[in-house]
């Protein structure tokens, strides 16, 4: 397994910092990662290791305004800018691994993004994996915050607020929570253009789930208190094609960081292997 850095240049000139994890032998395929709000791809090295062991490369980048990427923290000029950035990641994967099947994998906000990308951009992919996708929140944000967010959406779209996530609900593993809170690349910043955009695009996904045509694996922890497992179940039930839904009993938001993570990653790897042609 080799871990190397990569950079992407967005349409609006931002440098996006990324990483590539490659197995020792020629890979069977490549998985492109889109992470969640406030975090960065470096938190997924153990996921990459599991995929590398199964013969798959993994590429990912820090979202604009996140991690080592440029841009104001927690801000995007539009939701489409995120999808444009995923286009760059797809192009990089095809350049580096020509003729290999490509899978798109997103967690939380990243799950929202990869589902939107699949529906709106109609990419050619071997499959999509959505982990605890933000379709609906599992908690009600304070009404004043939502009201201000919508008021500022066009008046001051870069206004910064705290995202309000309770980090204790990420994982039952206290070491994961401690690492998250002490990580200098993690932040809790969110702006109206990101926060309201994510909420609205999640609801849009639920309304358009019947149009999703790519092979899909969607999984969620039943005790997720950040994003709604019921919304994931509802989305999966409306997909007419190849869709696998897994509800992990008792698990919190970051199923890949729970004590049961070996089972979670094993399911994902087997699904990817079954869809590699």
Active site residues: 108, 224, 253
The Cα-based distances of 192 to 69, 77, 112, 136 in angstroms read: 20, 10, 17, 16
Count CB-CB contacts under 10 A for residue 164.
14
- Cβ neighbours for 121, distance < 8 A, ≥ 6 positions apart: 83, 86, 87
Alpha-carbon distance of 161 to 78, in angstroms, equals 17
Alpha-carbon distance of 38 to 189, in angstroms, equals 7
> 90 near 117, Cβ under 8 Å?
no
Q: Residue 177: which H helix or E strand, with range?
A: helix 174-182
Integer-rounded Cα radius of gyration of the chain: 17
Q: Which residues of 206-221 are buried (b: 16+ CB within 10 A; e: fewer)?
A: beebeebebbbbbbbb
Alpha-carbon distance of 62 to 179, in angstroms, equals 18
Q: What are phi and psi of 194, to 5 degrees?
A: -85, -55
Q: Residue 183: which H helix or E strand, with range?
A: none
Alpha-carbon distance of 43 to 110, in angstroms, equals 13
- For the chain, give percent helix, strand, coil, nearest 5: 40, 20, 40
């Amino acid at each position: 397994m080799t871990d190397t850095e990569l950079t992407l240049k967005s349409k609006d000139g931002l440098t996006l910092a990324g990483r590539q994890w490659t197995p020792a032998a020629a890979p069977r395929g490549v998985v492109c990662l889109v992470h969640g709000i406030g975090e960065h791809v470096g938190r997924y090295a153990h996921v990459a290791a599991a995929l590398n062991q199964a013969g798959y490369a993994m590429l990912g980048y820090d979202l604009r305004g996140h991690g080592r990427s440029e841009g104001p923290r927690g801000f995007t000029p539009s939701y489409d800018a995120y999808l444009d950035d995923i286009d760059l990641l797809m192009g990089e994967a095809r350049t580096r691994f020509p003729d290999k099947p490509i899978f798109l994998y997103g967690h939380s906000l990243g799950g929202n993004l990869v589902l939107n990308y699949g529906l709106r951009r109609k990419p050619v992919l071997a499959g999509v994996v959505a982990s605890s996708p933000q379709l609906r929140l599992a908690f009600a944000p304070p009404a004043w915050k939502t009201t201000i967010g919508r008021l500022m959406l066009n008046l001051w779209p870069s206004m910064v607020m705290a995202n309000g996530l309770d980090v204790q609900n990420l994982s039952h593993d206290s070491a994961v929570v401690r690492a998250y809170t002490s990580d200098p690349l993690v932040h809790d910043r969110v702006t109206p253009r990101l926060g309201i955009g994510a909420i609205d695009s999640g609801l849009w996904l639920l309304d358009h789930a019947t149009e999703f045509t790519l092979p899909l694996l969607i999984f969620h922890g039943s005790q997720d208190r950040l994003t709604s497992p019921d919304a994931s179940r509802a989305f999966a039930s409306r997909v007419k094609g190849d869709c696998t839904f897994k509800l992990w009993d008792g698990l919190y938001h970051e199923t890949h960081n729970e004590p049961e993570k070996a089972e979670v990653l094993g399911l994902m790897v087997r699904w990817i292997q079954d869809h590699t042609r």
